[in-house]
Amino acid sequence: PVYFSDVLVADILISFSGVFTSVCVQLMRAADVPHAKYAPFITSIPYLIRLKQCLCDYYAQQHPHNSKLINALKYASSIPVIFLGHHTKPNSSAQVFHGITQGDLVWQLWLFSAIFNSAFAFAWDLIMDWGLVQTDATETTTRMRLRKDLYFSDPLYYIAAVGVNGSLRLLKIGSHVYHVHPICVDVAEIVRRWIWVVFRFENEWLKR
């Protein structure tokens, strides 16, 4: 079985993947080693670790649940974003928009995969990792609402966390369209992850 602590560490490593990649690239550059083509492979390592955990968890269960495979798909969908994104570093916003609108296949594939992956991961955070969304089904309607059991008494904490999570995910996509310094993107992702950790712990605590 894959323990919760292992999952948590692997997810945190994902958010630090940009930092690890930058450090490795700088070390290779200092050693005069060709480095450009290795960056996406380094970035992918934490995602592949997490993907392997999901598959191990699925096959280790006596009655496997499809949610493990869906979670594995979420991490697998990150790989095209990483490799396509490596080839879409903008020189200027004008060139980026020109590439997207004038039929540049790489840009269009990257944009589609980035939006799909971010929306997928955002929904997974809310529904599965944080367990914030509950549904009330009747014969005629299905209504979604915030779950009843909350550690923090004020629901605004949860609304703010959802807003920050979504905004920082959009920033990551936007960094390929506008000039955003990589350090700002990495710091924003680390902040997003630590907010995620708080509510992930809360959900795990409530389930136990």
| Kind plus residue range of the DSSP H or E element containing 56 | helix 39-60
Instruction: Provide the whole-model pTM.
Output: 0.88
- Residue spans of the domains in the chain: they are 1-76, 89-208
Instruction: Look over the chain and give the mean of its residue pLDDT values, rounded to a whole number.
Output: 86
Exposure letters 107-145 (e unless 16+ CB within 10 A, then b): beebbebbeebbebbeeebbebbbbbeeeeeeeeeeeee
pLDDT value for 1: 76
Flag whether pLDDT at 68 surpasses 80. yes
Question: Between residues 138 and 168, which one has the greater pLDDT?
Answer: 168
Q: How confident is the model at residue 104 (pLDDT cuts 50, 70, 90)?
A: confident
pLDDT value for 90: 55
From the list 104, 101, 130, 119, the residue with the least C-alpha distance to 173 is 119
Flag whether pLDDT at 92 surpasses 50. no
pLDDT value for 34: 75
> CA dihedral in degrees (158, 164, 170, 171; nearest 10)?
-170
Question: Sign of dihedral through CA atoms 136, 68, 45, 110?
Answer: negative
